[in-house]
Structure 1
Amino acid sequence: MQFLKITYCLSIVTVLLSLTACGALLSGEVERELIELKPGAYRLDPHHTTVLFKVGHLAVSDFVGRFNQASAELDYNASDPADSQLRASVNLASLDVNRPDFADTLKSCDWLCTGRYPQAVFESQGRARRDGNSLVFPGFLDFRGVRKAVELHVQINGATTNRLTGNYTLGFEAHLLFNRSDFGMGQFIPAVGDAVRIEVYAEFIRR
């Protein structure tokens, strides 16, 4: 019986070591410095993308939802990262708040009006401001038929080659702040906060 226990434990250890080795094989060397990353055109990987929104509720908490469909293109300039350009869009009808009936309310023209304005689009304009691996992109947000100047704050976590797919992959986090009242959606303030925070956690694949 003792021999069987030892054999079983050794088998478990062997499996765990094998899984660890496989994980190491799938992940290549990570490049962290922005000037080390490969330049060129990148597209958002929809399978490794999360887009969240947060808005204050009753001044005591945040209401959090997500959008399940987004796309983006990054034109990355490795020699001068601040000269990179970014365009991103969100399908507003893909709103997910874990309550289909409330999602339908938010999609109505009392709120997002997704039938009339199906997308929200950010497009960078001019040079970004750089601080280490962070880039602040000035640009414009088109939302509910209104176009306003905003800033998209981006943290580039690094890049590596996914050895399973062969894709050169760049890790990316971003956030964007705006007041919904600037876009014609000012009802129920202050019970529902005016400030909206968009958070993006994503990977870009080099074309």
Structure 2
Amino acid sequence: MNQLSKLISATVLALAVSAPALAAPESYTLDPAHTFPRFSYNHMGFSTQLSRFDKTSGKVVFDKAAKTGSVDIVIDMKSVNTGFPLFNEHIQAEDFLDTGKYPTATFKSTKVNFKGGKPASIVGDLTIKGVTKPVTLTVTSFQAMPHPMLKKDAIGANATTTIKRSEFNAGKYAPDVGDEVRIDIALEAIKE
């Protein structure tokens, strides 16, 4: 019996030493200086207008080995930047973003789909003006590596999706001003 106990202990120890270390999920905090959701829409057939939000916060969890992750983003809707201060105020009004009542929008992932070792799409719930709809962000680029200036691990990504603003109670002037809004997110996050 003593021999069996020693053999089991030796086997467990050998397996523990020889098994590769399993990666654990790592948490990253969004870098507000390099994370900007942008949106674009057709303006009466004349042009595609581009705007962005200047203040975003949140967290990303990434586990490369397990091919899992999560994304939780909060967008300060009062930080909308159209490039024209008067229009910034106009777009924050009740008919559009209604930032007095809904100062933030959120995206919370429900699933991250991987292709190879990198995220390819992120499925989640987008909430704007108190309305929550499922969306899928297509990841167009992804990088995980040490940040050369901060000397910490970091991740970066670009992702895109298209929504209908009327589905979020922000459809004033549609369809003359495009109902479809393309959202592009440039995201960088630093390991906690």
- Shorter-chain TM-score above 0.5: yes
Cα 1:142/1:181, change in 2 over 3 Å: same
SS in 1 for 2:61: strand
TM-score (norm 1): 0.75
Q: How many residues align?
A: 169
1:87 equivalent to 2:59? Answer no
Q: 1:172–1:204: 8 Å Cα contact kept in structure 2?
A: no
Provide the secondary structure at the position in 2 that maps to 1:200.
strand
- In structure 2, the gaps of 5 or more residues are 1-22
* Matches for 1:66-77 after TM superposition, within 5 Å: 66-77=52-63
Q: What is the 5 A alignment of 1:1-207?
A: 39-81=25-67, 83-125=68-110, 127-132=111-116, 133-207=118-192
C-alpha distance in 1, partners of 2:119/2:148? Answer: 27
Q: Using structure 2 for the length normalisation, give the TM-score.
A: 0.81
Larger helix proportion of the pair: 1
Contact 1:89 1:119 in 2 (8 A): yes
Residue identity over aligned pairs, in percent, reads: 30
Query: What value does the CA root-mean-square deviation take over the aligned residues?
Result: 1.8
> What one-letter code is carried by the residue in structure 1 that aligns with 2:115?
D
Q: Contact conserved, 1:156 with 1:170, CA < 8 A, in 2?
A: no
Deviation at 1:201, TM superposition (A): 1.4
Rounded to whole Å, the distance in 2 between the matches of 1:136 and 1:50 is 18
Aligned equivalents of 1:163, 1:130: Cα separation in 2: 26
SS of 2:32's partner is strand
- Counterpart CA distance in 1 for 2:42 and 2:129 is 20
Q: Is the 8 A contact 1:76 1:84 kept in 2?
A: yes
- Residues 131, 60 of structure 1: alpha-carbon distance in 2 compared, 3 angstrom cutoff: farther
Shift of 1:183: 0.8
Deviation at 1:122, TM superposition (A): 0.6
Q: d(CA) in 2 for partners of 1:49 and 1:140?
A: 19
Deviation at 1:157, TM superposition (A): 2.7
Q: One-letter code of the match for 2:47? A: S
Return the alpha-carbon distance in structure 1 between the equivalents of residues 148 and 41 of structure 2. Answer: 39
